[in-house]
Structure 1
């Protein structure tokens, strides 16, 4: 299993507060990786460090072995990285159709989410939370990417649409894309071989495959995510 991107001993600070405390985290190519943790655990900061939205105060970010720690976000995007944040992921003042055109065209998005078709003339800022997430995640499906980072991809979606979303994201992995999703709970519909990293207070508390018995014991136990 080749590593597409990697954090090595990465520390990230927001003013006087350190959000990541020397995190090591590999992102394998063609594999789904899920970052689990409560709000404030550091999972969003891991995504932002990979995307180049924040610069580490220490440590390195590698992409296929090359140091990209100081490569800005827009240049990482040109290299094939797609980052879908949890907030401000759509252009609220533009219509759904205009958002889709900026993302590379509506066809793939409407195939994935036919629910968006009657919403094409509406401004994105008037959509419900689940509709906004469909619009935002459709960006990751519309353009070829080597790395896709999505913060809470199914937030606000109904269970059937959430399961469909993870099936679509799993399809990206089948084509060789490295997927990293941040979630508060382990979602249903994950592709086979999904890796899980549980973050607590800026450190990685557990790493393993989602299907491993050890993972289930950790996630469901008294100190696990499911009980938090």
Structure 2
């Protein structure tokens, strides 16, 4: 299993507060990686550190073995990184159709995954429900054909169970069909069957990695079992 990106000893600070405490996190290619953690655990900060939207206070980021620590976010995006944040992931003043038109591919794959967006195409994104906004936001990942790394913060937030299941299915397909590394930040593990075989799980607690393993191991893991 080759490694697409690798955070090494990553520390991130927001002013005087340190959000990540020396995190070592490999991101394998063609694999789904799930970052678990409560609010404030550091999972969103890990995504931002990978994307380059926050700088590392110390540590390194390797991308296919090349030191990418100082690459700005736009350079990482040009090299194939797609970030779907949990907030401000769509342009509220643009219509759904205009948001989709900003993506590098035709909207067919997104509208096939989310047919509920079709009647919403003329509506401004700011008028959508939370689940509808997430569908539109995740569409960015589906419509970026050259993405090598796809980072999605809370992909199914606000979605109904059937739509959430379809979302996980389409994101997992990016690993099989495109060889992309997909990293999902979640408060809790998605339901059984939602994640493909070979998925890796890392749990963050207070800015440090507390657990790494397979989804089936999460339910039986305790700090004492490490």
Calculate the TM-score normalised by the size of structure 2. Answer: 0.95
Would you say 1:194 and 2:199 are equivalent positions?
Answer: yes
Query: How many residues are aligned here?
Result: 219
Local SS of the residue matching 1:193? coil
- 1:44 is matched with 44
Between the aligned partners of 1:109 and 1:168, the Cα distance in structure 2 is 10
Aligned-residue CA RMSD (Å): 1.2
Q: How does 1:79-98 map to 2 (within 5 A)?
A: 79-98=79-98
Residues 36, 198 of structure 1: 8 Å contact kept: yes
Runs of 4 or more, structure 1, over 2 Å off, are none
Would you say 1:10 and 2:10 are equivalent positions?
Answer: yes
- 2:212 is matched with 207
**Deviation of 1:87 (Å):** 0.4
Local SS of the residue matching 2:220? helix
**Deviation of 1:216 (Å):** 2.3
2:148 to 146, 149, 163: 146
Between the aligned partners of 1:207 and 1:198, the Cα distance in structure 2 is 7
**Deviation of 1:39 (Å):** 0.2
Local SS of the residue matching 1:217? coil
Q: How does 1:57-68 map to 2 (within 5 A)?
A: 57-68=57-68
**CA offset digits 1:117-166 (Å, max 9, x no partner):** 00000000000000000000010001121000000000000011001100
Between the aligned partners of 2:171 and 2:23, the Cα distance in structure 1 is 25
Would you say 1:21 and 2:24 are equivalent positions?
Answer: no
**CA offset digits 1:101-128 (Å, max 9, x no partner):** 0013321110111110000000000000
Between the aligned partners of 1:96 and 1:59, the Cα distance in structure 2 is 39
Q: How does 1:114-125 map to 2 (within 5 A)?
A: 114-125=115-126
Between the aligned partners of 1:222 and 1:80, the Cα distance in structure 2 is 36
- 1:113 is matched with 114
- 1:181 is matched with 184
Residues 90, 99 of structure 1: 8 Å contact kept: yes
Calculate the TM-score normalised by the size of structure 1. Answer: 0.94
Unaligned runs of 5+ in 1: 224-228
- 2:130 is matched with 129
**Deviation of 1:67 (Å):** 0.6
Local SS of the residue matching 2:212? strand
Between the aligned partners of 1:149 and 1:196, the Cα distance in structure 2 is 14
